[in-house]
Amino acid sequence: MLCAISGEAPQVPVVSSKSGSVFEKRLIEAYITEHGKDPVNGEDLSTDDLIDVKTQRVVRPRPPTLTSIPSLLSVFQEEWDALALETYTLQQTLAQTRRELSAALYQHDAAVRVIARLTRERDEARDALSQVTVGASKASASGEAMQVDSATLPQAVLEVIENTQATLSKTRRKRPIPENWATVESISSYKPAESSEPLCSGGRALAVHPTGELALVGGADGAVSVYSLSQKAVLHNLKTDGPVTDATWAGDKAVVGSATGSVKIFEQGNEVASFAAHGGEVTGVAVHASGHIVASVGVDKSYVLYDLISNTAITQIWSDAALLSVKFHPDGHLLAAGTANGQVKIFDVRTGNAAADFTMSGPVKYLYFSENGTSLAAVSAQSTTVSIWDLRSFKEIKVLDTGNQVNSLHWDYTGQFLVTGGPSGVTVQQCNKSAKEWSEPLRSAVPAISVAWGSGAQSIVALNEAGAVTVLAA
């Protein structure tokens, strides 16, 4: 008997009552479950219509090739040959892998030695660079000026620093809030009032003139624009020798730092001085309260002071890490610099000596002194928080979490309002000095690579990455 479906002898035979054919039970049951019919004549069929057949258990015969000893020996020989060939192939692959691993280990060891040597040579070169002394000279006819590695400032410059400090420190704590200054209520109503066309390719730096009339805008293409906020027009187009990294106003003079290491001074649209004191990118510039002294910092681990009266570089002070940001104290006797290793270093401007160090969570990209003279705001790269440091206790007294990445910040003249800007928008943090509490009167979605207060804090000026200026006002 053979199964009508498989054509083989069934192990459990059954007979269909409809067609009389013999089937393997498991095959016909599966067919009935799927089709419900007899596979032979197509009639309806159920499992109840199957009749079990009682037979002896079928013993399948051996394949003809395995019924003799010579056939078995032949099969065993073939399997042995295949196993020997596979073993030989595995041995060859193992030997090749060992050779490749050995070569990779030698290459890795050589690479580690080369990296260690290059790192040592780099550190030695940096140490040698930090000891370089460059002679100072007057600005040449083309405006170029070299500098001196000296902590001793000229007597005239020292007198300017000391007189400025003496004058400002006496009245700083007693200064009344100017009339018509912005209030919490007015700031909370600020909205984007106007936006300019892109003034440069890739916005990098923004500085608003003390009068609130002019904005200095620098871009990644080296172009610098003097933009009139009231006239909504560009008054002057300036040009540096590389991407602009920072800019500020020193009175009516525009001070611009670039990635090529130069610091250029412009007045009335004309270049009046150019300095190349840094051995690498200039990362920040700042102006002294007197308006006659400018500082720049760079990746060469130094800060440089320039005298704008004589257009000379007067001193260069070296640090132990690349400097990324810089600001003068409102009284002019201290200078704060943010480092790439997460330190805020406070220097005495008169001597160049370190006065204090504050530790941040990452590279210090921006910092700003409060006009009260006792607080310093600093922000690390890619951070959403602003740290407020007390210069009297040398402690971090407040951490402001803006919820958005902060690229720039700016304290107003009264020390009440701290504006921050980043890719997700602008915020204003307000300090209630009497209650010693902070609040957030404004949060705007205007993206900003740099922010600054307008005249009387009656507006906020923001520069975006496209190089366009947006003014937020009531």
Sheet holding 408-411, edge to edge: 408-411, 417-422, 425-432, 437-444
DSSP 197-237: PP-SSSEEEEEE-TTSSEEEEEETTSEEEEEETTTTEEEEE
Secondary structure (3-state) at 75: helix
pLDDT given at position 70: 81
Phi, psi of 278 (to 5 degrees): -85, 145
**Cα 175 from chain centre:** 39
* C-alpha torsion 392→156→286→192, nearest 10: 100
pLDDT in tens, 179-219: 889 999 999 999 998 899 999 888 889 999 999 999 999 99
Per residue in 430-445, pLDDT (tens digit) is 988 776 789 999 999 9
Can you name the CATH fold of 155-473? Methylamine Dehydrogenase; Chain H (2.130.10)
In 10 A of CB 144, how many CB atoms?
A: 14
Per-chain mean pLDDT for the chain: 88
Map out the domains of the chain as residue ranges.
13-52, 155-473
pTM of the model: 0.68
CA–CA distance, 95 with 106 (Å, rounded to integer): 17
In angstroms, the CA 222 to CA 237 distance is 11
Q: Where does the pLDDT of residue 451 fall: very low under 50, low under 70, confident under 90, or very high at 90 and above?
A: very high
Position 151 pLDDT exceeds 60? no
Q: Which of 278, 451, 266 is nearest to 368 (CA)?
A: 451
pLDDT of residue 136 exceeding 60, the answer is no
Region of 261 on the Ramachandran plot (φ > 0 left; ψ -120 to 50 alpha; else beta)? left
Stretch 40-64: mean pLDDT = 78
DSSP helix/strand/coil, 275: strand
Q: What is the pLDDT of residue 135?
A: 35
Residue 50, pLDDT above cutoff 70: yes
* Structure confidence at residue 202 (pLDDT): 86
pLDDT confidence of residue 146: 38
Rounded to an integer, what distance in angstroms lies between the CA atom of residue 189 and that of residue 403?
20
Cα–Cα dist 217/224, whole Å? 6
pLDDT for 61 equals: 58
Predicted pLDDT at 393: 86
Superfamily of domain 13-52: Zinc/RING finger domain, C3HC4 (zinc finger) (3.30.40.10)
Confidence of residue 152 (pLDDT cuts 50, 70, 90): confident
Higher model confidence: residue 364 or residue 130? 364
